[in-house]
Structure 1
Amino acid sequence: MSLFERTLTLWVFACIVVGIALGHLLPDVFQAIGAMEIAKVNIPVALLIWLMVIPMLLKIDFRSLAKVGTYWRGIGITLFINWAVKPFSMALLGWLFVGWWFRPLLPADQIDAYIAGLIILAAAPCTAMVFVWSNLTKGEPHFTLSQVALNDAIMIVAFAPVVALLLGLSAITVPWDTLMISVALYILIPVAVAQILRRRLTAGGTTERLDWLQSKLQPLSLVALLSTLVLLFGFQGEQIIAQPAIIALLAVPILIQVYFNSGLAYLLNRAVGEKHCIAGPSALIGASNFFELAVAAAISLFGFHSGAALATVVGVLIEVPVMLSVVWIVNRSKDWYEASPAVARNTNPERA
């Protein structure tokens, strides 16, 4: 791991500070950049995400995807966390913290909206950013891609019913254009680009040119991640400065939810004997959120200046720092994880 990667957390916090400062000092510039969108999907952010995920996707040989069924335990656990645990645990945490313990400290007319925003955030599993987290934990890339693709397919049919159930609404208007365009921009296009590049670079039967390109793109991927942070925090700079106490309170249930779900996924994978390279991305996919979709859905349902929209924005604010801490925990605990008798029993050369 390079010095840059080892100090990535420091760079992340620096970009957060820079983004907030620039958003406060140059609001018109960031508003103009923020307006470059299709169906509330920001195009500059999408381009930066391409630069983040394409180097990871270049590692994936689609001919090997047929073997991903070998990791059915990890897939099953991640699906269980994403769809049977995470939205419901967030609803409970939102009710406990926002609806009860923090109620005296929050605007009374926004309590229900804050809880709704937290639920919307938790009901949308992350798509693009998890490729970065998986790469940092040396996760199995075929598993990560298959899991993300499966989550996208489920989200198309399950996002609205789950949110409607937990919000107690008879109907919910899902921003379908945002959902479909997000899947296309964050998954389909970068996958297609990566596979075209991979096939051309390995056409001669060797991987030398592919390895050379990956070595050049890897630093660019991390720079794109940091640039994305500057943009995202620049977009929300005014809100962060105007409402720091409310944001800090809303962050508490989100933090608990992330660590609870990632820890549960990690422990379940260890209990069933799944490999560490599967348990890492499983924990990260199980805990992270598709905040682009969540923000768009909250705005379309409750309005731009609503408590629901602000709650989803908090998810944007803490996503990267918190997920980096989960990456650190996963990497540091690898020896402990692999000491499990179940992991040792189920690991063999055929699955390596």
Structure 2
Amino acid sequence: MGRLSFVDRFLPVWILAAMGLGLGLGRGVPGLNRALDSVQVTSGTSLPIFVGLLVMMYPVLAKVRYGQVGAVSRDRRMLVSSLVLNWVVGPAVMFALAWLLLPDLPAYRTGLIIVGLARCIAMVLIWNDLSCGDREAAAVLVALNSLFQILMFSVLGWFYLKVLPGWLGLSTVGLHLSIGRIAETVAIFLGVPLVAGFLTRTIGERAKGRAWYEQRLLPRLGPFALYGLLYTIVILFALQGHTITTHPGDVARIALPLLAYFALMWFGPFLLGRRLRLGYERTATLAFTAAGNNFELAIAVCIGVFGVTSGQALAGVVGPLIEVPVLVSLVYVSLWARRRFYPAAPART
């Protein structure tokens, strides 16, 4: 933990503080909802939310080493395992947990399913590094997840929210969903920062070299992702203040399937990595990239499709509150497993 910045190290505390500040503003400033929602950049998405979400996404995508895809893609066992875990197992697990644990809360259930579809491209780089995972493999899997989300997020959203419940005889009465709207939101909130991040790395490395880019520029850009997250949480909780303060039990119910999801999606891939004999570094990377979620994108989709004060948006906001402390704890579990099961693993500087 000593390698993290002051903001990173106490991120759960800052998230709680941002939530408290947002609740206070929402309860104490009359007309705040109307003011925040008065200027919209896309249908249903206010300008303050739009700015916060883009600030969250851009620094993370500027970190990705897009030129390393070939090196990791040669490890077919890891590549195939990661793609299956992220795009088949993960969404299916969240779908099952959401329906089992929130059968009577369709808005929150829908929000959690969207969280399950948003595969991790952000904080996983931090968890992977703290656990001494494979940095290059994590960067490549992040890049692949970014591309897959642009191509497949809207299709999988339609399948898990409309098609699969129909096949299983589950009621989706009242769910009005447009695959085009989801695709538009993903293209804006992931496509724009992805292109910006790719161009930043490409131009920066060509102009100044990789050492300057990663040692000088990225440390300056990195904190803005966390600042954007905290700013967005303040705004969202200001808009969700009434629902949260009047229905705290709902927040607890949203947290329960998230806790189960993170446990299943970390321990399962870690055991799979051991079974495949990937070695500690790539096993840890496989586990964290499967367990983490891109809650920034999930929040953006929930807001863009269902509205900033919707139950779906609240479910998205609860995501980082649960994910951050759980995955920090799993970093310690991973390091314990390294000492216990991989005593010959070389130290990494």
Partner of 1:108: none
Q: Is the 8 A contact 2:55 2:225 kept in 1?
A: yes
Candidates 277, 285, 292, aligned match of 1:284: 292
CA distance in 1, matches of 2:57, 2:203: 19
1:162 Cα deviation from its structure 2 partner = 2.5
Tell me the secondary structure at the aligned position of residue 31 of structure 2: helix
Query: What's the TM-score once normalised by structure 2's chain length?
Result: 0.77
Q: Which amino acid aligns with 1:161?
A: F
Q: Is the 8 A contact 2:18 2:233 kept in 1?
A: yes
Q: Is the 8 A contact 2:65 2:139 kept in 1?
A: no
Partner of 1:122: 113
Q: Is the 8 A contact 1:94 1:115 kept in 2?
A: no
Partner of 2:153: 155
Q: Report the aligned-residue RMSD.
A: 3.7
Tell me the secondary structure at the aligned position of residue 131 of structure 1: coil
After superposition, the C-alpha distances for 1:306-333 in whole angstroms (9 at most, x for unaligned) are: xxx52x2442232112111232133213
Q: Give the total of aligned pairs.
A: 327
Partner of 1:50: 54
Tell me the secondary structure at the aligned position of residue 209 of structure 2: coil
Partner of 2:329: 329
After superposition, the C-alpha distances for 1:48-80 in whole angstroms (9 at most, x for unaligned) are: 233233323223332222334135444444444
Q: Are residue 7 (structure 1) and residue 10 (structure 2) matched?
A: yes
Deviates further, 8-17 or 166-175: 166-175
Candidates 143, 157, 163, aligned match of 2:141: 143
CA distance in 2, matches of 1:30, 1:74: 46
Partner of 2:132: none
Deviates further, 162-171 or 22-31: 162-171
CA distance in 2, matches of 1:29, 1:116: 23
Q: Is the 8 A contact 1:15 1:226 kept in 2?
A: yes
Tell me the secondary structure at the aligned position of residue 64 of structure 2: coil
After superposition, the C-alpha distances for 1:68-95 in whole angstroms (9 at most, x for unaligned) are: 4135444444444455444544454445
Alignment of 1:247-326 (within 5 A): 247-274=251-278, 275=282, 276-285=284-293, 290-294=298-302, 297=305, 299=306, 309-310=310-311, 312-326=312-326
Candidates 181, 184, 202, aligned match of 2:184: 181
CA distance in 1, matches of 2:266, 2:118: 16
Q: 1:231 to 1:165 in 2, by over 3 A?
A: same
Q: Is the 8 A contact 1:21 1:234 kept in 2?
A: yes
1:257 Cα deviation from its structure 2 partner = 2.9
Q: 1:190 to 1:296 in 2, by over 3 A?
A: closer
1:163 Cα deviation from its structure 2 partner = 2.0
Q: 1:155 to 1:23 in 2, by over 3 A?
A: same
Q: Is the 8 A contact 1:182 1:293 kept in 2?
A: yes
Q: 1:129 to 1:29 in 2, by over 3 A?
A: farther
Q: Which amino acid aligns with 1:316?
A: G
Partner of 1:103: none
1:166 Cα deviation from its structure 2 partner = 4.0
CA distance in 1, matches of 2:294, 2:56: 20
Query: What's the TM-score once normalised by structure 1's chain length?
Result: 0.76
CA distance in 1, matches of 2:84, 2:27: 41
Q: Are residue 61 (structure 1) and residue 69 (structure 2) matched?
A: no
After superposition, the C-alpha distances for 1:224-270 in whole angstroms (9 at most, x for unaligned) are: 22112111211211111222233333432343234333433343334
| Gapped regions of structure 1 (runs ≥ 5) | 100-110
CA distance in 1, matches of 2:121, 2:207: 31
1:13 Cα deviation from its structure 2 partner = 0.9
After superposition, the C-alpha distances for 1:92-114 in whole angstroms (9 at most, x for unaligned) are: 44454444xxxxxxxxxxx2xx1
Tell me the secondary structure at the aligned position of residue 137 of structure 1: helix
CA distance in 2, matches of 1:24, 1:229: 15
CA distance in 1, matches of 2:219, 2:34: 35
1:135 Cα deviation from its structure 2 partner = 3.1
Candidates 202, 206, 220, aligned match of 1:203: 206
Q: Is the 8 A contact 1:265 1:282 kept in 2?
A: yes
Tell me the secondary structure at the aligned position of residue 219 of structure 1: helix
| Gapped regions of structure 2 (runs ≥ 5) | 130-134
Percentage identity across paired residues of the two chains = 19
CA distance in 2, matches of 1:38, 1:61: 31
CA distance in 1, matches of 2:110, 2:344: 38
Partner of 2:44: 40
CA distance in 2, matches of 1:335, 1:244: 35
Q: Which amino acid aligns with 2:16?
A: F
Q: Which amino acid aligns with 1:24?
A: R
